Structure formats: C-alpha cells, structure tokens
Amino acid sequence: MRFGVFPVDAAEGVVLAHSTRAGTATFRKGRVLTRDDLAALSAAGVKEVTGARLDPTDVTEDAAAERIARCLLGPGLRLSAARTGRCNVEATADGVVLVDAGAIDAANLADEAVTVATLHDKDAVRQGQIVATVKIIPFAVPTEVLTLVEGALASPALALKPYAPRRYAVISTELPTVKPSVIANTEELTAQRVASCGGVVIAATRCAHTAPAVAESIRAALKGGAETVLIVAASATVDRADNLPAGVIAAGGVIDHFGMPADPGNLLVLAHVDKTPVLILPGCARSPKLNGFDWVLQRLAAGIPVTRLDIMKMGVGGLLVDTPARPLPRDQAVRAPAAHKPTIAAVILAAGQSRRMGGDNKLSRPVDGVPLIRRTVETVLASAARPVVVVTGHEAETVRSLLSGLAVTFVHNPRFADGLSTSLRAGLDVLPDDVDGTLVSLGDMPAITSAHIDALVAGFDPDSGKAIGVPTHGGKRGNPTLWARSLFADMRQVAGDVGARHLIGANESLVYEVEFGDTAVLTDLDTPAQWSEYLSRKAP
C-alpha cells in the first residue's frame, strides 16, 4: 500500500484519507475514488487528495477485520458487520466470556496494523454486548501480515459460557441486632442477582445464627432441589471455625476457601456439600454494588467451576472499592442487577435558515396538509421518547405557532446562525438530569415514523456497549440518532455547522445499527429538488 498525496487526475482507485468537499458534495474518508468523483473534485478546484493506493496483495480494512474477528469466534458469539476497518464480536446470550490472553497477545504482537481488544477473561456479559473488537489501523493489510495474525489465532481465542437456569436456595441467619426489613431487602436483592444470572430462588428461609440451625437449613435446601446454596450472615464470618462454616461442616460439607482478594468481598466463604456449591456471602452482598461475590456467582451460574486456587488468583483487578481518584462512582459505573428501563428524551433541531430551499422556510411547507415541522414533532410524540425538546432559531415564532397545542418544551437558540452545533448544545442544556439518553432528530424528515424511533430506543443498552443508535438502510447510515448521556459532554464540544456525527466514527465500538427496509431514515429535504422528488414518490 502506498500512502501519500496524489494529483486529482491520477487518483482513480485511491482510498480517500480525509473527507473532502467539492461544491455541495462531500466525499467521505474511506471512499474509493472513481472517475466521476475525480471530475467533480476537479470541477470544484481540488488539485490533489491525500489517500492510499492499495497493492494487488493487500486486503482491504473491512475484509481483514472480518477475517481476523472470525478467527476469534468460539461458541456463543457472533460477528457484527465490518465497517471503517472495525469488526465486533458480540455475545448471543447472557453469560461469562472466556478469553485466551496468550492468543490475543500473539495477534497484537504480529504487526502494528492489527489491533484486537477484548474484555477480561471470565467477565460477565449480556446478550448483544461487544466482547471484542478488531480494528485495522491502515486502509489495508498485506496478505503476509494477515496470514501471520491468523496463525496466532489458529484456535478460537474467545468463547461464551451462557448462564444455565439453576435453582438456588437463600438462607438468612437472624440476630436481634439485624432488622427484619434489612433481611427482607437482602433477600430481594439476592433474588435479583440470581435472576440476572439466569437462575431462580426456589426457597428463601431464615434461621438462627448457630451452626445446628444452619446445618438443618442446608439439608432442607438440598432436599428441596437447590443446586446452589447462598447463606446471608447476620454477622460477618471471621474464622473458619465460626458459626456458619461450622454449620456447613455439620451438614456434611467441606470449606474450600475462606476469604478472597477482592474488596469489597474479602469475607466470602467457598464451600460445598457433596457436589452442591455453598457460598457464605460477605456483608457487602447487602449492597447492589459489584463485589467479589458477584464474580463467583456469575462463574458458577455459567457452569464454570470455582476452586480455591481460582479465588486466590482474583487479586489483579480485585480492588473494587470506590476511591477519590475514580472518575465515576461505582454505583453509576456498574449496572445493578435490576436495571431500570432507560428514559430517552428527544431533541428536535428546528432552528435552521433553509438557505438551500430558495427563500421560504421549509419547515412551514405542507406534507399531506400538515406543516413539515408539525408532522415531525407529532411523529416523535407518538414514540416512547419523553420529554420532547424543540430548538428554535430562524423564524422562531412561526415554528412555535406551527406547533401550538403540542406537549413539547421550547428552547430558543440565539446563535442559530453559527451553525447546527449551537442548536445541539441548546437542546442538551435543557434536558432533565435523569434522562439516560436522547434522540437527536432533524426537523425536516417527513417519512420517519414512531416505529423507526421506538426500534432505536429498543436497541439502546449502554451497559452492553450499545450507546449510540444509528438507523441504516441498505447499509447506509441516516437519521435520527440516539445518544447515551455519557456522550453528552463530547456532543457539547462540537463546533460549527455540523452535528455530532463525527463522534460516531470516533466511538465505533459503542455504535449499534438498526436496519430498516425503507428509505425514511435517509430522507431529509434540504433543496427544492429533494422536495419535488419526495412529493413525486408519494404521489399515487
């Protein structure tokens, strides 16, 4: 591959390195230039372009990314479509991912052109979550490099162990110092943890905080069909000979290990009775925050044995406690077992000056007898998105009057002439603090329906890496887009007459695409020609 600057008249077949404007047209980064492209660039006065010319033995970035990602693929995993040199590996079910770290290291050591990033070995994942991403750095990879990487990944380096529908018993010990409400809350939280791992609590019992009472409760749980026994201690276990471990032994069990190098989670007890795992939970299990018990529960739920040695090797990464240096509090960074349904707002951009329309405000033009902006807003209101914010600017009073009676929040952008980015910031600034994300919609997309929007909302799951929703048709990306709150700060930094679309390319690993069978997501009306063409398609 040769990378450099090429005269336009000698650039046919070159892969464009940077987006380039030619009159009203924009040629995007990664485009393979054709003769027609070169003619348009030349007519616009462009003399040279920066890009890459591939050699006959080069493999294009998308093809190379997919080939390498396919080598990673073990049971329970699937590939996303390769785009911009990136191909993701996703989980097909909730479970625990197994990672061959040695193979991943070997692939990354092969050549700087290839990068493979994965989750940690035995991380818990949810269905659809990205567990690995392959990114090709240049526009193409020589065949010999690709062959070297494929050799390093001769056996699949990733696999998913899905959660099994196991039966659990929860035993809570009682002391006068522990309120019944605390026990009840812990029972509920433990059931949520179990459910998040695909299991079900078949019995929740309480007993005295004594060895005989615990032993009797364990025997009853096993007789009732429990496949895992979880014991919630009224008082922390402080020794192998303490009441609860003694109760396990009295029930015929064995203490495999006491303690673990995870904080919170130090005081976990790993045991078994016959072949049934028994866990004495640390006190931190009364909180929904991630702790060492979660790690052990997740692995057992996925059918992965947990031994004394496994516990003792959990120290690297085991420091889970909040520290002042942590940029995000753990209760925000870690999903609680019972996640709430996300709240999605909508920001509708209606501040533009319609310069390309030839004089009038396109948002006032009727579509099926309804002004374009009212049609757009009514569509959003018919979706799951709430609240709905409309950003005005040019002819603000006209836009407000066209939306009379609709349940929307208006915000005026006095800097609308400075470009679309200022309207985006104005809309974000008035969103409530409790929204999880926002749909960003153009005001001039007449074919969008509430079903398009609701499909984007349904796919939103930032905990699984699905933080940027992008609609597509025929593989081409369109609007509206959906953004997680974690991206709001970056969106506010956008400047000029552009939206946040470049952030999609910068955060490809967070993108989920929703493919639609119609062209609605690609249809916005900026010019008289586009308007006429749209109306002609609608005509019977």
pLDDT in tens, the chain (540 residues): 899 999 999 999 999 998 888 877 888 888 899 999 999 999 999 999 999 999 999 999 999 999 999 999 999 999 998 988 999 999 999 999 999 999 999 999 999 999 999 999 999 999 989 999 999 999 999 999 999 999 999 999 999 999 999 999 999 999 998 889 889 999 999 999 999 999 999 999 999 999 999 999 999 999 999 999 999 999 989 999 999 999 999 999 999 999 999 999 999 999 999 999 999 999 889 888 889 999 999 999 999 999 999 999 999 999 986 543 333 333 443 344 434 578 999 999 999 888 777 668 899 999 889 999 999 999 999 999 999 999 999 999 999 999 999 999 999 999 998 888 999 999 999 999 999 999 999 999 999 999 999 999 999 988 778 899 999 998 889 999 999 999 999 999 887 766 677 788 778 878 899 999 999 999 988 888 888 888 877 655
Residues contacting residue 209 through CB under 8 Å, at least 6 positions apart: 173, 174, 175, 233, 234, 235, 243, 244
Q: What is the pLDDT of residue 148?
A: 96
What letter represents residue 51's amino acid?
A: G
Q: 58-162, which class in CATH? A: alpha beta
CATH number of 344-538: 3.90.550.10
Q: Is there a cis peptide before residue 387, judged by omega within 30 degrees of 0?
A: yes
- For 2-53, give the CATH class: alpha beta
Residue 110 CA, chain-centre distance (Å), reads 29
Helix (H) or strand (E) holding 20: strand 20-22
* Angle subtended at Cα 463 by Cα 458 and Cα 469, rounded to the nearest 5 degrees: 40
Tell me which residue has tokens 């952030």.
Answer: 503
- First and final C-alpha spacing in the chain: 51
Instruction: Give me the pLDDT at residue 507, please.
Output: 82
For 167-321, CATH gives 3.40.980.10
Model pTM greater than 0.85? no
Going edge to edge, which strands form the sheet with 2-7?
2-7, 48-53, 15-16
CA distance 340 to 461: 11
Q: How far apart are CA 54 and CA 30, in angstroms?
A: 12
Residue 147 burial (CB count, 10 A): 13
C-alpha distances (whole Å) from 328 to each of 144, 224, 323, 380, 500 are 43, 43, 10, 32, 23
Q: How far apart are CA 20 and CA 13, in angstroms?
A: 16
Name residue 257's beta-bridge partners: 270
329 prior amide bond cis, ω within 30? no
Q: Are 372 and 434 in contact (CB under 8 A)?
A: no
Neighbouring residues of 271: CB distance < 8 A, sequence distance ≥ 6: 245, 248, 253, 254, 255, 256, 277, 278, 279, 280
pLDDT at 528: 84
Domain boundaries, the chain: 2-53, 58-162, 167-321, 344-538
In this predicted structure, what is the pLDDT of residue 498? 66
d(Cα 260, Cα 199) in Å, to the nearest integer?
24
Q: What is the rounded CA–CA span in Å between residue 326 and residue 203?
A: 38
One-letter amino acid for residue 110 of the chain: A
pLDDT score at 260: 96
What's the pLDDT at 337?
40
What are the structure tokens assigned to 78, written together? Answer: 């699937």
